[in-house]
Copies of this chain bind each other. A is one copy, B any other.
Amino acid sequence: MVSATLTKLSDLDGQAPFNGCQENFRQPEVMEKHLGRKQRLSAHDVLFYEGDKAERLYEVVRGVMMLYKLLPDGRRQVVYILREGDMLGFSNRDFFDCTAEALTEVELQVFESREISTSPMMQHYVNRCLLSQMEILHEHTVLLGRKSALERVSTFLMSLVPNRGGHGCTGPNEEGKPDTKTVALSMTRQEIADYLGLTIETVSRVISQLKRRGLIKVEKQDSIHITNICGICQLTGMH
């Protein structure tokens, strides 16, 4: 029996064939916060470093995380943003290929890799997660390889508006209603820049430009009110 409508692995907890493992974790930096099969992180805590041994998977129950890679000279590329329901900790070889860091306070559900590989249901679920991440990575590859700064920032903003800009985008809700949404970035300008393959100055300039054009309002540093969602969407390079 494989559920195709399952949207979170943690929903399975307690009913799936888990063998409640009690061993003590030795996770760097966050060890003291671990309790049972849940784990909490503060903003900017590192969950694991690139090169660490990969032994468990995590599901983001609350908060936002990022995966990034560093070049030896310090250049950083954020390769993935993880939000509620997303999984991380996958590894092909025995070691993580990215560093995982919390962007906000985070609550995680922890799974032993062994649990996953012995349960076909889990296996199937993980598979769907991977496919979904793969699709987002493909899209991000286009952004990094071919889009202008304006297109990158617009695409990023659209990614924060649920059910808009994507394949099933229906356009504005209702005729005449304001096409508007306030989004939480949960990232500094530097983190956004490292995600979009830009500099902090360029990100800032594009945001200022969108502000000047009346498409967004910056409420707090971390919170942007999009005044015209369709207007931003038109700037993503995908229309």
| Interface positions of A (Cβ within 8 A of B) | 2, 67, 69, 71-73, 75-77, 79-80, 90-93, 97-98, 117, 120, 123-124, 126-128, 130-135, 137-142, 144-147, 167, 194, 196-197, 237-239
Contacts and interface: CB of A to CB of B under 8 A. Distances in A.
A141 B239 contact: no
A184 to B, nearest CB: 23
Given A71-B237, A120-B123, A135-B92, A79 B130 contact: no
Nearest to A118: B2
A76 B142 CA distance: 8
Counted per complex, copies of this chain come to 2
A67 B135 CA distance: 12
Contacts of A142: 69, 71, 77, 79
Closest 3 interchain pairs by CB? A145-B197, A144-B144, A92-B131
A131 B130 contact: yes
20 contacts: A2-B117, A69-B138, A69-B139, A69-B142, A71-B237, A71-B238, A77-B146, A91-B131, A92-B134, A92-B135, A93-B167, A120-B123, A126-B127, A133-B134, A134-B137, A137-B141, A140-B141, A141-B141, A141-B144, A146-B197
Contact of A144 (B73, B145, B239): B145
Nearest to A237: B71
A117 B124 CA distance: 8
Given A76-B146, A131-B91, A138 B67 contact: yes
B92 A145 contact: no
B134 A90 contact: yes
Contacts of A139: 69, 97
A126 B137 CA distance: 18
Given A75-B237, A93-B167, A134-B134, 7 more contacts: A92-B131, A92-B135, A97-B138, A130-B131, A134-B137, A141-B141, A146-B197
A163 to B, nearest CB: 14
B127 A75 contact: no
